[in-house]
Structure 1
Amino acid sequence: MLIITIKQGKEKSILAGDPWIYVSAIDKVEGKPQERNKPGSTAIVQSSSRQFLARAAYNAKSQIAARVWSLREDEPVDHAMMKRRVQAAIARRADALRSADPQELVQLIDGEKDGLPGLLVHSYGGAEGYLVCQFNAGGVDLWKIPIVQALLAATGCPNVYERCDALLRKGEGLLAKSRALAGEEPPQRLMVRDGKRLAPMDIRTGFTYPR
């Protein structure tokens, strides 16, 4: 596991709950070269006096050099964490999902707010529809398989599609390739409710067709 040492005084924002650690705040990163070069590698973040601060996903290719997973030293970053956080995020939005129009895009996971930095997930059509995911950071991209497994189990929706924001992913040193991760790819054109009106949209890209 990598060890990130923070410059003196820069630990205050982490302790205050800021989930992002910028390159400018880091004194040094210790660990095997292959781990340092792998976007999303798990790291222990420590202060200049070597006190534990956080567990984070490190990415040498991003200006946001690390994204905090947890401030708890006794909470490992593993499959169980991903499952818990996916389940908790969906449970928080269960009422909204149940009451939503089947043609509405409902946000299920909102990145840092749900302890899954860089992950966005929207649902369309309920359990028989589609989940559209964006893995916009190295950490969640590295844990993509357990995250998708947890989504399938928590929602019962069999179709999971990865939508790629090329600019964001390239900034993280990640490949930008949109594809079905489970089940079927959404159709190119679906009617999506936006307030009181329906508009034709390609939910794979977010493109709204002119009416």
Structure 2
Amino acid sequence: MLIITIKQGKEKSLLSGDPLIYLSAVERVDGKPQERSKQGATALVQTSSRQFLARAAYNAKSQVAARVWTLREDEPVDHAMIKRRVQTAVQLRADGLRDADPQALFPLIDGDRDGLPGLLVHSYGGPQGYLVCQFNAAGVDLWKVAVVQALLKATGCPNVYEYCDPLLRKGEGLPLTRRVLAGEEPPQRLMVRQDGRLVPMDIRTGFTYPR
């Protein structure tokens, strides 16, 4: 496993709840070369005196060197954890999703707030509509299959599409991809409610058509 050692004094922000570990806070990274070059690989984060701090997703190609998964030493980062956190996020917003306007983009998963750093998911069209996902960090990108499987099970929605934010993906050194992850691709043009009015939009790209 990778081991990230934090510079003395730089662990304070981590302990206060900041999930981001910047490159400037890292003293050294130990581990096999293939693991160090694997974007999103799970790393153990420790103080300069070798005390456990967290488990995090490491990314050598980003100024955000790591994003915290858990501060619990007894919580492994695995398929079960991803599934559990997706389910919890969906359950937390179940009532809102049920009552939401089916023509609105309903926020279903909100990254750090749900313990899934870099992951944003919006629902459109109700249970048989579409889930639009953004994988804006290397950690969730590495767990993409597990995320999609958990979303399909937790929501019952059969259609999952990956939206790409070029600026954020480039900042993480990730390839720019827009594609179907499950089921069918959303139509190029849908009516989406924004600020109380319906506007024609391509939810695959976020492009709003002129009226």
| TM-score class normalised by the smaller sequence | over 0.9
Q: Which runs of 5+ in 1 are unaligned?
A: none
Instruction: Tell me the distance in 1 between the aligned counterparts of 2:102 and 2:7.
Output: 50
Instruction: Tell me the distance in 2 between the aligned counterparts of 1:199 and 1:168.
Output: 25
Q: CA deviation at 1:126?
A: 1.1
* Structure-2 residue corresponding to 1:182: 182
Name which of structure 1's ranges 194-203 and 145-154 shifts more when overlaid on structure 2: 194-203
* Structure-1 residue corresponding to 2:162: 162
Deviations 1:152-190 (A, max 9, x none): 000000000001112211221111110000000000000
Alpha-carbon RMSD: 0.6
Q: Which runs of 5+ in 2 are unaligned?
A: none
4+ residue runs of structure 1 moved beyond 4 angstroms? none
* Structure-2 residue corresponding to 1:30: 30
Instruction: Tell me the distance in 2 between the aligned counterparts of 1:183 and 1:202.
Output: 17
Matched position secondary structure for 1:128 = coil
Q: CA deviation at 1:207?
A: 1.0
Q: CA deviation at 1:94?
A: 0.8
Equivalent AA in structure 2 for residue 145 of structure 1:
V
Matched position secondary structure for 1:126 = coil
Instruction: Tell me the distance in 1 between the aligned counterparts of 2:195 and 2:88.
Output: 27
Instruction: Tell me the distance in 1 between the aligned counterparts of 2:87 and 2:195.
Output: 27
* Structure-1 residue corresponding to 2:150: 150
- Scaled by the length of structure 2, the TM-score of the pair is 0.99
* Structure-2 residue corresponding to 1:191: 191
Q: CA deviation at 1:195?
A: 3.0
Identity among equivalent positions (%) equals 79
Instruction: Tell me the distance in 2 between the aligned counterparts of 1:32 and 1:202.
Output: 43
Instruction: Tell me the distance in 2 between the aligned counterparts of 1:181 and 1:38.
Output: 22
Q: CA deviation at 1:59?
A: 0.2
* Structure-1 residue corresponding to 2:141: 141
Deviations 1:189-211 (A, max 9, x none): 00011132111010001111111
* Structure-2 residue corresponding to 1:86: 86
Equivalent AA in structure 1 for residue 35 of structure 2:
E
Deviations 1:69-98 (A, max 9, x none): 000000000000000100011111111101
- Scaled by the length of structure 1, the TM-score of the pair is 0.99
Instruction: Tell me the distance in 2 between the aligned counterparts of 1:39 and 1:172.
Output: 9
Instruction: Tell me the distance in 2 between the aligned counterparts of 1:173 and 1:196.
Output: 37
Instruction: Tell me the distance in 2 between the aligned counterparts of 1:164 and 1:115.
Output: 20
